[in-house]
């Protein structure tokens, strides 16, 4: 029987092909198998596009279904079947790298798969490779501190009740709102109500050729938003 292969979770950064870490590119170049997250809505996996320059042409590409749903039963079934594919490859002695956008440990399918893989194959060796997050790359692009001195920074997935933002903004001077596409107008209403409409920036598709950002959030009211979009709020100003 072959030795069990190693499982890597590789954060490939926010989008630009020169914003991967050296370690990420080394693993992507040498892995036998590259697992790519793929939602049915995507024409092409975003993580695959970002990493494709570094992938060994001999590597086998395995798609792992990551449906765009919040239905926990569907997600669990898909993650379980993804984890089973990975476990089988590891048992065959393959080096398997699951690539994921941004950082591997932040809002990524990787961490759900990892738990299932570890449960079913505890003896497998695992290494998680961090990546540059979308919001740290946004702050860098705009030459804007994410937090200074004793400022508090909150990272919020804006998919539940945007009204929570009122309480969060009382406690945190700086807030990163991720997954804002579906709740944008409601978020904007709250920022306006709190007089913070000039203290926020919207960023979409950072690192991609069609990257876009604006400080005029009102100008995008009612406009369909990209899934890869976020808002940074800095209550003390930029």
For residues 90 and 99, which CB has a smaller minimum distance to ligand SAM in the complex?
99
Under the binding rule (CB under 6 A), the answer on residue 64 touching ligand SAM is no
Q: Are strands 200-204 and 6-11 parallel, antiparallel or unpaired?
A: unpaired
Number of H helices, E strands in the chain: 7, 10
Under the binding rule (CB under 6 A), the answer on residue 23 touching ligand SAM is no
For residues 48 and 121, which CB has a smaller minimum distance to ligand SAM in the complex?
48
For residues 102 and 162, which CB has a smaller minimum distance to ligand SAM in the complex?
102
Sites for ligand SAM among residues 172-191 (CB under 6 A): 178-179
3-state secondary structure of 9: strand
Among 143, 140, 196, smallest CA distance to 172 is for 196
| Interacting residue with ligand SAM among 45, 66, 95, 108 (CB under 6 A) | 108
Q: Give the separation between CA 187 and CA 15, rounded to whole angstroms.
A: 25
For residues 34 and 50, which CB has a smaller minimum distance to ligand SAM in the complex?
50
**Residue 146 CB-density burial (10 A; 0-12 exposed, 13-18 middle, 19+ buried):** middle
| Interacting residue with ligand SAM among 204, 217, 232, 233 (CB under 6 A) | 204
The contact set with ligand SAM (CB under 6 A) reads 14-15, 101-103, 106-108, 133-134, 178-179, 203-207, 227-230
């Amino acid at each position: 029987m072959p030795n069990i292969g190693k499982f890597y979770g590789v954060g490939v950064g926010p989008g630009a092909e020169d914003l991967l870490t050296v370690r990420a590119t080394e693993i992507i170049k040498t892995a036998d198998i590259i697992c790519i997250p793929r939602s049915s809505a995507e024409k092409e996996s975003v993580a695959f596009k970002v990493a494709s320059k570094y992938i060994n042409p001999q590597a086998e590409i395995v798609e792992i279904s990551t449906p765009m749903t919040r239905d926990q039963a569907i997600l669990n079934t898909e993650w379980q079947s993804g984890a089973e594919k990975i476990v089988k490859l590891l048992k065959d002695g393959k080096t398997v790298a699951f690539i994921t956008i941004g950082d591997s440990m932040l809002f990524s399918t990787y961490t759900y798969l990892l738990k299932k893989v570890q449960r079913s194959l505890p003896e497998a060796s695992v290494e998680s490779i961090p990546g540059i997050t979308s919001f740290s790359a946004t702050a860098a692009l705009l030459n804007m501190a994410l937090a200074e001195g004793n400022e508090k920074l909150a990272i919020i997935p804006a998919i539940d009740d945007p009204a929570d933002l009122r309480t969060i903004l009382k406690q945190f001077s700086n807030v990163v709102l991720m997954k804002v596409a579906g709740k944008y107008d409601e978020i904007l209403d709250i920022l306006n109500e709190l007089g913070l409409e000039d203290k926020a920036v919207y960023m979409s598709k950072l690192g991609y050729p069609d990257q876009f950002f604006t400080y005029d959030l009102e100008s995008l009211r009612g406009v369909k938003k990209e899934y890869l979009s976020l808002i940074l709020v800095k209550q003390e100003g930029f």
